[in-house]
Amino acid sequence: MKSSRNIGRVRRKIKSSNIIVSHIENNLREYLIVSIIFIIGILIGIVFVNNLSDVEYKETSNYITSFINSLKNQGNMTESIILKNSLFNNLSIGILLWILSSTVIGLIIVYIVICFKGFCFGFTISSLVSVLGIKNGVIFIFASMLLQSIIAIPCIIALGVSGTRLYKAIMKDREIHNIKLELIRHTIFSIFVFILLIFSSILEAYISKNLLIYFIRYL
């Protein structure tokens, strides 16, 4: 009985993985485009940090230093606050991408949002490395960003791809029935991604925060 249940679970996992692989293969061009746009955003963020004025760099350095000190002193960064902020950031971008996908000029703005998300990521990691140095910066990034980013970044890219598909479907086919069908598919896919983003926020609040507090003593 147990073995049959285990076999059933394995089959479901294989089926799910096949669906994901099939989705990526069928939309490989879109994934490449959105990923490149995200990477461009990261590079812009890195270049932006390298070209900060002395005043801007000092402000960034002071912010990072004060944040680290507040963590060392076990400041007000409770799990509930981190979870609330993370959920707001992740889900607001997800909902924005979902809405923009169904507008006439949505594709361009979707790409801008993806690029901006990459910019924020690049700006953050570049600022940390610049202020803390390579060793301490990598430790900080690993502890505070790695776990949730492994989930959140592919989710944002996947939402961008799904939004691109919906936009192209709307522009290609003006049939109301077909548009509704594509919108339903996009919505179901988005809900699945939102669940993963919520899980990413939980990791950030309850795992990454504690990892950061543990490693912060070495900074």
Residue 124 inside a domain? The answer is yes
How confident is the model over 86-106, as pLDDT tens digits?
999 988 988 888 888 767 667
pLDDT recorded at residue 210: 83
Residue 37 inside a domain? The answer is yes
The whole domain housing 163 covers 30-218
d(CA 95, CA 81): 21
Average pLDDT score over residue span 25-29: 82
Residue 11 inside a domain? The answer is no
In angstroms and rounded to an integer, the radius of gyration of the C-alpha atoms of the chain is 20
Average pLDDT score over residue span 20-30: 77
How confident is the model over 38-64, as pLDDT tens digits?
999 999 999 999 999 999 999 999 998
Number of structural domains the chain divides into: 1
Taking the complete model, does pTM exceed 0.75, yes or no?
yes
Residue 24 inside a domain? The answer is no
Residue 104 inside a domain? The answer is yes
- Nearest CA to 137 out of 209, 62, 216, 70 is that of 216
d(CA 127, CA 123): 6
Amino acid, single-letter form, for residue 118: G
Residue 193 inside a domain? The answer is yes
pLDDT recorded at residue 15: 46
Task: Count other C-beta atoms under 10 Å from residue 120's C-beta.
Answer: 15
Average pLDDT score over residue span 147-173: 85
Residue 4 inside a domain? The answer is no
Residue 155 inside a domain? The answer is yes
219 band by pLDDT with thresholds 50, 70 and 90: low
